[in-house]
Structure 1
Amino acid sequence: MKGSMAPNSLPVPFCPRLFYTYATMVKLTVRKDRSGPVRGFHPWVFSKALAPIPEGLAPGEPVELYDESGSFLASGYFNSYGQISVRLWGHKKDEPVGTDFFVRRMERAGDIRRRYVESPGTNAYRMVNGESDLLPGLIVDRYGEYLVVQFHTRGMERWKPEVMEALITAFGPRGIWERSDVSVRNVENLGAVRGLLHGSVPDTIEILENGLRFLVDVREGQKTGFFLDQRDKRSAFRKYAKNRDVLNCFSYTGGFTVYAMAGGARRIVSVDSSRRALDVARENIILNGFDASRCEFVCDDAKRYLREPAWRFDAIVLDPPAFIKDRRKKPEGLAGYRAINEMALRNLLSGGVLVTCSCSAHLSLTEFRFLLSEAGAKTGRALTLLETYTHGIDHPQFVPFTEGEYLKCFFLKA
């Protein structure tokens, strides 16, 4: 390993370690009446779908699944004796699990991004998207020559040395930074881990997205540093900004703000509760050679700002954090989404465009659309749906894996 370990990071030794062949893997049986989802390539196998599970299995241990007649169904790793017992990572019988196993999956994932996302003007995107790239519990984001990784499960954490070696083999990054500080780890009693895993990683990385330049703080920024899943929405918004007064709420480091300037916006107000994020947003405007005097950066709670904005706008962007992080708190979250969208519509000029997003997995696209229709009725605004977006190409999803859905975005004319 090159470089030194950062505080709170875990050492990752590269040494001969786990290697499983079909002869050493645990065989589990899927009940006849529960085999449908496995045959349909759903990546999770629930405990009730399995015949009695042997005692003593550790998270991350490779398993093969068979039906009651003894026919092979899929392979994966044992997750827990709780609700999700197995997370699937293959549908090929007798596939040994080791570093080469992970290299093959990463090369497959990388091929999709290189074909459909990467270009001379874009060098930042999600490289590995967990279950839908047959690497359940693993997230890998590319920022230029650097990678940022997240291990979401104890099972994938067990394979960290092999995963690291595979990342270096498949992608050859200058550095890898870990941001395993997501709340989902709490479910498996895993603490937050941040730190250097390979090479060196600068405090700030400059990336390209659709020819525009952005500064990214992968160490302390939100998620892994940038909202890569909004790339296509930012690009789509560009055409609506020409000669418009724009309000960008929950603006973070100014992604939509930069695209609006690139589209010829007349004036832009960016609102976020983080002064540091707004400072980076201003730097991003200057980095792209735009006139910062046409931009105002307001450090405030976006919901409070929407109650009494300085003026009304031709275009408004709402890209809030998830208001529904727990289905038990869905009513409160729905109330929050209604409130900000109603306020935005009241502050939107006639004929204006509202771009409104939700990243709450517990709110479906249909529910979000109905909520917006209610907001339109309450504010007396007839809403026309111009464009609809979900995940981007670099965030692929298996069709049966509806649990992986979270992002939805509507472009509305009022």
Structure 2
Amino acid sequence: MRFFCCNLGCLPLANPVYLKKGEEKRILAGHLWVFSNEIDTGRSPLKEFAPGECVALHTHRNRFLGMAYINPHSLICARIYAYTRRPLDRALLTERISSALKLRTSLYAKPYYRLINSEGDFLPGLVADRYGEILSVQITTAGMEAVKTDLLDVLQNMTGVTGILLQNDNTMRALEQLTAEGEETHGNVPEQWSVYEGEAHFRITHKQSQKTGWFYDQRANRERFKHYVNNQRVLDVCSYAGGWS
């Protein structure tokens, strides 16, 4: 095994993956996905890579673009997780989750929010919603599946939650040739959860919920909506859990 040395010590040298000529433009603009038809399969035969394997992404002219994990079976063949040479390991997970947690606690007074938003937090394939002392987590890629044990441990240690619900029944997993595993609980996960948004209090049942349980991205809409319906009786025929939809 070959190694490269840096300020993190000596690390295993990841196999290189080369793009076709000119296919680096979107990556240089900040996009984190690499599609299978953008890879130079003559220099980087996809069948030689294992799903979830960490690779070093290069341009046609051998310019290093970043570290990614690869899945030769998926149309989105590689997902960049770092712009420096480093493995997808516990140290990186700790760094990313710490940054995400710091941002959320600066924005929200109560611990009810989307903690990890996949590529938005530089952790592609991972979504984690927080409901007070509970985390609802989805893993949709082989790269994140490969570090699941460390990932769940870091999430629990950094947030101090009492329970984690892993909801890996998402159909997106099939695109990565991962099995739909249903629910997997770690710690104490009650049947019902509370959600607090401003002055509103909602109750959801995770077995009847969609995805990770709640659409936190509609928080601002629900807050704005109350000004239009104050002291009125309103029928929301697509309410899901009683919120704005």
TM-score (norm 2): 0.87
Listed one character per residue, the Cα deviations across residues 304-346 of structure 1 (whole Å, up to 9, x for unaligned) are xxxxxxxxxxxxxxx3xxxxxxxxxxxxxxxxxxxxxxxxxxx
| Number of equivalences | 234
SS at match of 2:235: strand
Alpha-carbon distance in structure 2 between the residues aligned to 1:39 and 1:22? 25
Aligned equivalent of 2:106, options 111, 115, 118:
115
Q: Which letter does structure 2 place at the counterpart of 1:100?
A: A
- Is the counterpart of residue 242 in structure 1 residue 234 in structure 2? no
CA distance in 2, matches of 1:108, 1:155: 20
| 2:39 is equivalent to residue 50 of structure 1 | yes
1:382 is aligned to none
Q: Which amino acid aligns with 1:131?
A: E
CA distance in 2, matches of 1:66, 1:189: 25
Measured against aligned partners, the alpha-carbon deviations of 1:182-230 in whole angstroms (never above 9, x if no partner) come to: 2212223433223344211111122321132221222332222222221
| Whole-angstrom distance in 1 between the partners of 2:209 and 2:189 | 14
Supply the distance in 2 between the matched residues of 1:227 and 1:81 (Cα, whole angstroms): 30
Conserved? CA contact 1:60–1:159, under 8 Å: no
Give the RMSD, CA atoms, in angstroms.
Answer: 2.0
TM-score calculated relative to the size of structure 1: 0.53
Q: Secondary structure at the match of 1:178?
A: strand
Paired residue type of 1:89:
Y
- Whichever of the two has the greater Rg, that structure is 1
How much has 1:81 moved relative to structure 2?
Answer: 4.2
1:91 corresponds in structure 2 to 83
Find the counterpart in structure 2 of residue 106 from structure 1: 97
Q: Compared with structure 1, are the counterparts of its residues 140 and 165 closer, same or farther at alpha carbon in structure 2 (3 Å cutoff)?
A: same
Question: Which of these residues, 200, 206, 220, is aligned with residue 232 of structure 1?
Answer: 220
Change (3 A) 1:226 1:84: closer
For structure 1, which runs of at least 5 residues remain unmatched after alignment?
Answer: 1-20, 257-318, 320-414
Select 1:68's aligned residue among 51, 60, 64: 60
1:151-170 to structure 2, matched below 5 A, reads: 151-170=139-158
The whole-number CA distance in structure 1 between the counterparts of 2:207 and 2:233 is: 33
Partners of 1:188 and 1:68 lie apart in 2 by 26
Matches of 1:74 and 1:50 in 2, distance apart? 14
> Alpha carbons of 1:223 and 1:47: their partners in 2 closer, same or farther (altered >3 Å)?
closer
Percent identity reads: 33
Take 2:11 and 2:36, find their aligned partners in 1: how far apart are those partners?
22
Equivalent AA in structure 2 for residue 168 of structure 1:
Q
Larger proportion of helix: 1
**What is the deviation of 1:23?**
3.5
**Moved beyond 6 Å, runs of 4+:** none
1: CA distance, partners of 2:161 / 2:207: 17
Aligned residue in 1 for 2:26: 37
Give the secondary structure class of the aligned counterpart of 1:34. coil
